[in-house]
Amino acid sequence: MTRGFREKLGEGGCGSVYKGKLRSGHDVAVKLLNKTRANGQEFINEVATIGRIHHVNVVKLVGYCAERSKRALVYDFMPNGSLEKYLFSKETSNWLSLARKFEIAIGVARGIEYLHIGCNIQILHFDIKPHNILLDDNFTPKISDFGLAKSYSMENTTVTLTAVRGTIGYVAPELMNRSIGRVSYKADVYSFGMLLMEMLGLNRCTRHNDNKSSQYFPYWIYDHLNEGNDIEIGNADKNDYDDDDDDDDNARKMRRKMTIVGLWCIQMSPTDRPSMSEVLKMLQGEIENLQIPPQPSQLPDIEYLNDRNWDTESTGSMSLLCNDSLTDQ
């Protein structure tokens, strides 16, 4: 299928991905899992969850291989790769217009909403990030990598985990400090909010702002919004404006809308975050109806992240899975 694993598409913590072709001529991506994963839990998670899902914004599992120690997952091939390369690569970081990013955000939100309430079970992804958002030939986003996902009854409002799971920078705070709140689908909402911030470049922008470099980035955003200023994100914004004043106004509205929704999603307390259905309503509604969420009164303790040695447990180099003894500290 891969002609001897000839064309490598990428590599992550769980294994390598190769381009393949079925006998029908259909292009696929083959993820060959590392042999070191003896318990096969990630493989089981992937097949058990994504195998029953059919949604335009979720990547399609074509098939799988489980032969002795070999574990492989076969997906539809996504010609435009992952969202990650359009956010972090110098060569392609300016390829996506703000309008395209907004469409991608809407698609990802729809996919997460489907996982939460669209199936006969509740599926929590726990690893929403740019690396796991794949783009087809029309740049339609597809949520991928369900290795850390968990399935629950629709009646469950909170969930029980025996380990912290997610990716540093996108993982919800309650997953690492249970005193913040109970773990629920709101963990995916938080990750989506951080995804919006990354798509706008807001958290990266503070690193290049000498006056605000030491300020926690949501506070910097609040300062600008409360002063009535537009949120500018450097050179990437040049592609969003042209000589048409109406287009400029639409771009500002989209950016402001994504910013405010992102702030709602990354509220420290899970109870203060909206559901994904509410997120979609806000993104698709009028900007005039959006209210800026209350500004946090104190800075959350996030420095402890840098002091821990996290184990890699997903496709991204910064993904983590640690034992439950850390989660109640």
Query: Same structural domain for residues 70 and 89?
Result: no
Q: For residue 174, what is the domain's CATH number?
A: 1.10.510.10
Give pLDDT, residue 150: 87
pLDDT of residue 276: 97
The verdict on 15 and 106 lying in the same domain is: no
Amino acid at the residue 194: M
Same domain, 118 and 57: no
pLDDT in tens, 278-295: 999 999 999 998 998 887
pTM of the model: 0.82
Structure tokens at 48: 């058990």
pLDDT at 27: 96
| Residue numbers of the domain that contains 223 | 84-326
Contact 326, 164 (CB under 8 A): yes
298 and 150 within one domain: yes
Does residue 160 lie in a domain region?
yes
Split into its structural domains, the chain has a count of 2
Residue 1 in domain: no
165 and 270: one domain? yes
Q: Are residues 186 and 239 in the same domain?
A: yes
255 falls within a domain: yes
Residue 299 domain-assigned? yes
Instruction: Identify whether residues 154 and 50 lie together within a single domain.
Output: no
pLDDT of residue 246: 61
Assess if residue 41 is contained within a domain.
yes
Same domain, 219 and 266: yes
Residue 35 is predicted with a pLDDT of 66
In a domain, residue 147? The reply is yes
pLDDT < 70 positions in the chain: 13, 35-39, 162, 203-220, 223-246, 296-329
Q: What is the rounded distance in angstroms from the CA atom of residue 73 to the CA atom of residue 66?
A: 9
* pLDDT value for 10: 85
Last residue of one domain, picked from the residues 58, 76, 94: 76
Q: 48 in a domain, yes or no?
A: yes
Boundary (domain end) residue, out of 33, 53, 76? 76
Q: Which residues are catalytic?
A: 127
- 151 with 20, same domain: the answer is no
Q: What is the CATH number of the domain that holds 37?
A: 3.30.200.20
Asked if the structure places residue 22 within a domain, the reply is yes
Residue 229 sits in the same domain as residue 168: yes
Same domain as 110, residue 69: no
pLDDT at 305: 42
The verdict on 71 and 146 lying in the same domain is no
Which of 46, 76, 106 represents a domain boundary (last residue)? 76
